[in-house]
A and B are shown apart, each in its own frame.
Chain A
Amino acid sequence: MISFELNGKAVEVDVSLDTPLLWVMRDHLKLKGTKFGCGMGLCGACSMLIDGVSTRTCILPIAAVANRKVTTIEGLGNPQMLSTLQQAWVENSVPQCGYCQSGQLISASALLNSNPNPSDQQIDDAMSGNICRCGTYPNIKKAIKAAAGQQLGVQTFDPSQPREGAEV
């Protein structure tokens, strides 16, 4: 039995300890927002935040997340309450086929949490582990900059509302 925190809630799963976190999420916990792309940690479609760090979960055994904090795309926001980053994604029409975007948003969110105003080079460095076959990179970059600007500028914080975006 492995216990960890998933999107702010404690969960326990009883699976073989070598099962990758990705498949625990999809097949056992039935959270389908995180995607399978390559199975080798090469494309980033399976990215989740583990204690705030964007991590490839298709090669991460479930045993490795015992007692740690895991955030999936479902933990960033939802259609009724988009995070600042997701709002920027929508406004800039980032997704095309959309399949890789959960992973892209996880990596972008990790970047902005650690660096609220990244340079082009820093965006490239943080995002180049995530492949997009549709070639949405230019719009991803635009959206990250837009979100960064908002976070620096006019962002308001209402303490009565749960914080959008990942727990920090």
Chain B
Amino acid sequence: MSMNNSNASRRGFLKNSLFAAGGLVVGVPLSACATASNANSDGKNFVPDAFIQITPDNVVHFYMPRSEMGQGTYTGLTTIIAEELDVDPATIQIHHVGAGDEFTNPEAGIQITGGSNSIRVHFDPLRQAAANARAGILNAAAQQMALDVSVLTTNNAQVIAKGQAFNYSEFVTLAAKKDLPTDAKLKSPKDYKYMGKDRPRLDGVSKSTGTAQFGLDVDFPGLQRAVLVRCPVAGGSVASVNDSQALKMPGVKKIVTIYNGVAVVAESYWQAKQAAATLDVTWNKPEKLASFSSDTGKKWFEDALKGEDLEDAHEEGEGEDGLATAHKVVSAQYWAPYLAHSTMEPLNCTVRIENGKCDVWVGCQSPGVAQGLAARITGLSKDDVTVHSTFLGGGFGRRVYSDYVAEATAIARESGLAVQLIWSREDDTRHDYYRPASLADFKVGLDKDGSIESWNVKRAGPNTMPYFLDQLVDGKAPGFMPTGLVDWLSKRGYGLFDGLSVDESSVEGLFEDYDSQHKHVQHVTVDPGLPVGFWRSVGHSFSGYFKESMMDEVAHAVQQDPVAYRLAHTKNNPNLNGALKLVAEKSNWGKNLPSNHFHGVAAHNSFMSSVAQVAQVSVEGNQIKIHKITCVVDCGFVVNPDIVKAQMKSGIIFALTAALYGEITLKDGAVQQSNFHDYAIMRMNETPEIDVHIVQSDAAPTGVGEPGVPPVAAAVANAVFAATGKRLRSLPLKLS
């Protein structure tokens, strides 16, 4: 968190001041098949991925490989280590790490925090590493005290021998010289002291006192603030600029033009913002996007679904031919708009280029990409670029992207000044990587008993992956690749990718959950050119609404109870089936409702977890009032139930904002919304009661940060149908 100048390379990292404090340093391989090793040896072949260190002052340090953006990994991952190391989690010093290949997310192949996988992929490796470290300390203690290891136990960072307690630190010097065990026995769940229990978040104090450091809080003498004026149409560039008035404004140090806009660099943010407002810029606008407006643009999507360009994405049984034998076919079309992320902390990045080195301070979900982009823009090698990570003031997928890092680096390079680029809320709303707008057509074939035998869906919309790939090529291309080739690849990224296959995230969640003999999924890309990206739950954010509304339509078409009908079609999906049963019980499904209140149900698998929800809704005039959401989640073993419940509530409130208000629209390619008055976020007085239940499970942990989102809009829309008989097939939900 502090501004130390640790080198980002692994060797440099191992030598940095904290590790220099000595003691026992344990490397944690993050890939599942490897085992923990003793990082004190200078063995050349050993590449640890995360680190646990016990210093001579008996403090345990954890170098955390993932970013904390609210989802709770700071507490969760630390609790996992604390359990097997037998140390109170609250005493562990947690360090944000910078960029480094050793921190690669084993499933993603790059250093990224996303996909709701932090606990899932690190659970086993971290436990084993911590258990091995504890065993190594016990072995060293036994040797040092000439006792049999079997008579030793531990308690909160101390070895207990014959009723006496000795700090771990008394044995770490010896333990560091010995080989660590690689397969120390793990605790039995019944002996857990910390895991599986409600415990306060470890970042609670700093975040309740204004002392947690976010990217925006980074400061040092000589740092200037920058405001960037961008083309209102994404992808545009500066044609001409008149900055004569801005240059005369107080505090202004430099005005520079970069690849996508004009930046004012000033002593303070307010001065930079005031000066930027006086700039007169004309733009080169990208033609295709500039020709797109939301009021007429939906036709682009409708035409594509009727056209010839659909590609097969998934087929089971006889695919669409299965419809031929259907006794009855239920059809409907659903729409979801573009959405912005609106993290509370506006995007920002601090960059200093000095003496052939570049320092980047940023809270982001992909520090490795940030490092690569900064290296490319400065022309330095990655080893000369150090990323200093902070807490993230919200991520939700937005901070996977490093566009603001690239901008800040370009401004620092062009101005020759250390700068902190600060986005305004208007910048944030208008220059996002949006949740892609989507249109889907369903045709569901039923047999004579009303059961589903054929599930067919077509989706039209933009794909997220090409936009991510574009940055990935820029940020992660190997150093030996000539700049020209990287430029070419980057510009071609979209086309190169699109030819290969259907982007999984464009169709995920549309077809998997329910039993059907025949399934057919088709996709057609419609992309006006507005950047799109990962938005909390990605494809599931729209497919959950589409699929679960459609399922409700089908159940009603055959006059069956929506819960019973779902239960009958989840025989191959036991976790979702179980979640549905429990949510029906906990919500008192369809029973004892106050007059004019109605229930709607929805259930969806995502990120390997199952979530079922019941919304309790009333409708007055055209007003939808949500009284309560009951939620059941099955996410395997739970490290901290309180945080899981908080994440479910978080996902639900996030999704309610989208269900009731969220809509980004364009006029001639420019986003029309700007701030919270025209892009509303749910407030406390609008938030319903939320009741969360966790399915008890000993299975491996699965995703939590995102799976609460997908069912919400459908649960509400299905309740509105129960109340009014009106089927709302478009988001945000509006009765008119």
Q: State the A residues within 8 Å of B (CB).
A: 16, 19-20, 23, 26-28, 30, 32-40, 42-43, 45, 72-74, 76-79, 82, 86, 89-91, 93-102, 105, 123-125, 127-141
Q: A30-B219, A33-B209, A137-B687 are contacts. A97–B69 as well, Cβ < 8 Å? A: yes
Q: For chain B, residues 184 to 234, give those with C-beta under 8 angstroms from any C-beta of chain A.
A: 200-201, 203-214, 216-217, 219, 225
Q: A27-B225, A35-B393, A93-B204 are contacts. A100–B210 as well, Cβ < 8 Å? A: no
Q: What is the bound-complex CA distance between A28 and B675, given in angstroms?
A: 26
B13 contacts partner chain A, Cβ-Cβ < 8 Å: no
Q: For chain B, residues 616 to 652, give those with C-beta under 8 angstroms from any C-beta of chain A.
A: 642-643, 646, 649-652
Chain B nearest CB from A48 CB (Å) reads: 11
20 of the cross-chain contacts (CB-CB < 8 Å) are A16-B270, A19-B270, A27-B270, A28-B268, A33-B211, A35-B345, A36-B269, A39-B424, A42-B676, A42-B677, A77-B209, A79-B209, A93-B642, A98-B214, A127-B685, A128-B686, A130-B684, A134-B70, A138-B687, A140-B684
Chain A nearest CB from B616 CB (Å) reads: 16
Q: A19-B270, A139-B646 are contacts. A96–B677 as well, Cβ < 8 Å? A: no
Chain B nearest CB from A108 CB (Å) reads: 11
Closest to B206 in A: A79
Other A-B pairs beyond A16-B270, A94-B204, 7, CB < 8 Å: A73-B210, A76-B209, A79-B205, A86-B209, A101-B208, A105-B208, A133-B342
Mask, B642-680, CB within 8 Å of A = 1, is 110010011111100000000000000000000111000
Contact A98 B219 (CB under 8 A): no
Contact B685 A82 (CB under 8 A): no
Closest to A135 in B: B653
Contact A37 B685 (CB under 8 A): no
Give chain A residues whose Cβ lies under 8 Å from the Cβ of B396: 133
B568 contacts partner chain A, Cβ-Cβ < 8 Å: no
**Which of B207, B345, B676 is most buried by chain A, counting CB atoms within 10 A of its CB?**
B207
Give chain B residues whose Cβ lies under 8 Å from the Cβ of A35: 214, 216, 344-345, 393
Partner of A32, one of B219, B643, B646, B684: B219
Contact A95 B204 (CB under 8 A): yes
Q: A37-B425, A45-B344 are contacts. A97–B677 as well, Cβ < 8 Å? A: no
Chain A nearest CB from B339 CB (Å) reads: 13
Q: For chain B, residues 545 to 603, give those with C-beta under 8 angstroms from any C-beta of chain A.
A: none
Contact A43 B391 (CB under 8 A): no
Give chain A residues whose Cβ lies under 8 Å from the Cβ of B267: 27
Contact B687 A23 (CB under 8 A): no
For the complex of A and B, list the 8 residue pairs with the smallest distance between their C-beta atoms, beginning with the closest: A33-B210, A135-B653, A98-B207, A99-B393, A97-B70, A96-B70, A73-B210, A95-B207
Contact B677 A40 (CB under 8 A): yes
Contact B209 A78 (CB under 8 A): yes
Chain B nearest CB from A34 CB (Å) reads: 7
Contact A42 B270 (CB under 8 A): no
Chain B nearest CB from A78 CB (Å) reads: 6
Q: What is the bound-complex CA distance between A102 and B211, given in angstroms?
A: 10
Contact A135 B649 (CB under 8 A): yes
Closest to B270 in A: A23
Q: What is the bound-complex CA distance between A128 and B685, given in angstroms?
A: 6
Contact A38 B204 (CB under 8 A): no
Chain B nearest CB from A75 CB (Å) reads: 10
B478 contacts partner chain A, Cβ-Cβ < 8 Å: no
Q: What is the bound-complex CA distance between A76 and B208, given in angstroms?
A: 10
**Which of A72, A86, A141 is most buried by chain B, counting CB atoms within 10 A of its CB?**
A86
**Which of B208, B209, B426, B649 is most buried by chain A, counting CB atoms within 10 A of its CB?**
B208
B346 contacts partner chain A, Cβ-Cβ < 8 Å: yes
Contact B394 A133 (CB under 8 A): yes
Contact A133 B343 (CB under 8 A): yes
Partner of A97, one of B392, B424, B653: B392
Give chain A residues whose Cβ lies under 8 Å from the Cβ of B161: none
Q: State the B residues within 8 Å of A (CB).
A: 69-72, 200-201, 203-214, 216-217, 219, 225, 250, 267-270, 342-346, 391-396, 422, 424-426, 642-643, 646, 649-654, 675-677, 681-687, 690
Partner of B207, one of A27, A40, A101: A101
Contact A27 B268 (CB under 8 A): yes
Chain A nearest CB from B88 CB (Å) reads: 16
Give chain A residues whose Cβ lies under 8 Å from the Cβ of B69: 97
Q: A20-B270, A28-B268, A72-B210 are contacts. A96–B392 as well, Cβ < 8 Å? A: no
Contact B203 A95 (CB under 8 A): yes
Contact A98 B650 (CB under 8 A): no
Chain A nearest CB from B721 CB (Å) reads: 25
Give chain A residues whose Cβ lies under 8 Å from the Cβ of B250: 16
Closest to A37 in B: B344
Closest to B213 in A: A32
Q: What is the bound-complex CA distance between A23 and B424, given in angstroms?
A: 13
Give chain A residues whose Cβ lies under 8 Å from the Cβ of B422: 36
Give chain B residues whose Cβ lies under 8 Å from the Cβ of A82: 205, 208-209
Q: A40-B677, A86-B209, A99-B344 are contacts. A128–B642 as well, Cβ < 8 Å? A: no
Q: A39-B424, A77-B209, A95-B208 are contacts. A128–B346 as well, Cβ < 8 Å? A: no
Contact B425 A40 (CB under 8 A): yes
Contact A131 B650 (CB under 8 A): no
Chain A nearest CB from B521 CB (Å) reads: 32
Contact A90 B204 (CB under 8 A): yes
Chain B nearest CB from A25 CB (Å) reads: 11
Give chain B residues whose Cβ lies under 8 Å from the Cβ of A74: 209-210
Partner of B652, one of A43, A45, A128, A135: A135
Give chain B residues whose Cβ lies under 8 Å from the Cβ of A100: 344
Give chain A residues whose Cβ lies under 8 Å from the Cβ of B71: 96
Give chain A residues whose Cβ lies under 8 Å from the Cβ of B342: 133
Chain B nearest CB from A124 CB (Å) reads: 4
Q: What is the bound-complex CA distance between A136 and B225, given in angstroms?
A: 31
Contact A98 B205 (CB under 8 A): no
Give chain A residues whose Cβ lies under 8 Å from the Cβ of B211: 33, 78-79
Closest to B656 in A: A135
Give chain B residues whose Cβ lies under 8 Å from the Cβ of A141: 684
Q: What is the bound-complex CA distance between A139 and B346, given in angstroms?
A: 24
Q: What is the bound-complex CA distance between A73 and B209, given in angstroms?
A: 6
Closest to B69 in A: A97
Closest to B210 in A: A33
Q: What is the bound-complex CA distance between A72 and B219, given in angstroms?
A: 19
Give chain B residues whose Cβ lies under 8 Å from the Cβ of A76: 209
Contact A23 B425 (CB under 8 A): no
Chain B nearest CB from A4 CB (Å) reads: 18
Closest to A125 in B: B685
Contact A39 B425 (CB under 8 A): yes
Contact B217 A32 (CB under 8 A): yes
